[in-house]
Each structure stands twice: as C-alpha cells, then as structure tokens.
Amino acid sequence: MTRQAIVAANWKMNGDSALVDNIVSGLANVKLSSHVDVVICPSFAYLSELNQKIKAAKLNEAIHVGSQNLSEHESGAFTGEISTAMLQDLAINYVIVGHSERRSIYKETSLQVAKKVNAALDAGLTPILCIGESEVERVTGETEAVLSAQIQPVIDEVGIDKFIDVVIAYEPVWAIGTGKTASSAMAQETHKFIRQFLAQQSELVSDKVPLLYGGSVNAANCEELFAQTDIDGGLIGGASLKAEQFKIICSAAKGK
C-alpha cells in the first residue's frame, strides 16, 4: 500500500501575479516522485490565474490549486465568503480547513471546522484539515488531548469512512512562522499518535490518510522530516513563496 505524499503551499495573504509566474516557471522542471502531489493555495484573487497558468504550462497532472478557506454555507448573505460551488466553478481540487490562524483570529470552532470539512467532501473537494497545539499546551503535556478534541468533531460530523478523502496537516502553533520547528522525532511521535487515534475507529482509513507536517518547514529540514514513517509531506508557509526552496521541498517528498 502506497500512501500519497502531498506538499501543499499556503501563501496566506501574500503574493501577486509576479509570484504566480515565478512559482509556475520554477516548478516547470521539478522532478517529483510518482506518488507526490503538489498543491498551491494562493489568496482567492489568484486562484483562477494560477490554475490557468498551471494548465498552460501542462503541469496540471502533478500540480493542483487549492483554496485557503471555504464557507460551510452553500450561498447567501455571507459577505466576503467563498462557497464550494464557486470553488468547483474554478476547478479547484483542494481546500485548507481549520488553519490555526482561522481558529485564533477568526474564532472558528472545531464544530464549524467539521461542517466545513463536510461541505468540502460533499462538493468533491479534498480538505486539508489543520490541527495543532499551542506552546503552552505542548509544555503542559496537553498535545494529544488538544489534537483529539480537534479531530473528533470532524469524525462525528462526517464519519470515519469519509476520512479516506481527507488530508490532515499537523501544525504546532508555536512553530508556524516562528522559525521554530519540531524535531523530526517529536514530529514523528505526534504524527504516530494521530494515526493511532484514527486507527481506533478504522485501521484501513488510518493507513491511507496522508499526514502532513507544517511549521517552519524549509529546504534544510524537509528531507529529514519527510523521511519519518508517519509524515507524508508538508503544509508549507514562508518557504513556499520562494521558488528555489519550494522546488527542493517538493523533490524531497517520496510517498510511502
């Protein structure tokens, strides 16, 4: 059984048309394992442009476009939101759900995140479900309890069987954009826990769900992180804005 490796770029509120061109041209000759998918998630304004340029460069077999967020609602008076139908119309394949910045800044609850995952799955989109603990929670030994409390509402909402179409990204909040990175051993230990937590309800699903690590992943540490048994790729922030670094990171993922 081979688990698909995924390297997903989260540009956050960064980038412009020049970055779109730079990243697409930079990935034109990247050598990817046959079991690796690359997902690039720009701001909403650049979803269509990025998708068109990836297709024009004939890179759409291995490189996909994802959204950084979606609404759990189908349509209506929700100013500033984006629906699954809109993402489908733009031929978007993936969507980041529950990023720690959405949880902390915009007060998204785990229940709301679960509803967003359900909406994505119903629309045929692949959700990248983000989970992670704060530095205080890590120090006080609450990591496993926090991650369980973030995953379980999603299982309750969609059922464990649907997790076969979910990607989980573990991002310790204390490592996002801080330059701090969990050691490869620490990251593997946490990913192993996540897989075991899923296995309590379905070993088949647990074996197939791609688990990504995020939190200051860069060209220098990606190979060691991706070599860990239960780490199948990464959700990349700052390094995904630099074409040369991102190419190295994409090349380091192999699939398991």
pLDDT of amino acid 34: 85
For the CA atoms of 249, 251, 255, 256, what is the dihedral angle to 10 degrees?
Answer: -90
The one catalytic residue in 64, 99, 133, 137 is: 99
Domain count, the chain: 1
Residue 177: pLDDT band (50, 70, 90) is confident
In tens, the pLDDT along 115-151 reads 999 999 999 999 999 999 999 999 999 999 999 999 9
The yes-or-no answer on residue 171 being catalytic is yes
The yes-or-no answer on residue 35 being catalytic is no
CATH number of the domain encompassing residue 44: 3.20.20.70
- Residues, the chain: 256
Parent domain of 181: 5-96+108-252
The one catalytic residue in 108, 133, 171, 191 is: 171
Other C-beta atoms within 10 Å of 180: how many?
A: 12
In tens, the pLDDT along 73-108 reads 999 999 999 999 999 999 999 999 999 999 999 999
**Is residue 1 predicted with pLDDT exceeding 60?**
no
Q: Report yes or no on 101 lying in a domain.
A: no
pTM value > 0.95: yes
- Please compute the mean of the pLDDT values over residues 31-52 and round it to a whole number: 95
Q: Which residue has the tokens 């007060």?
A: 107
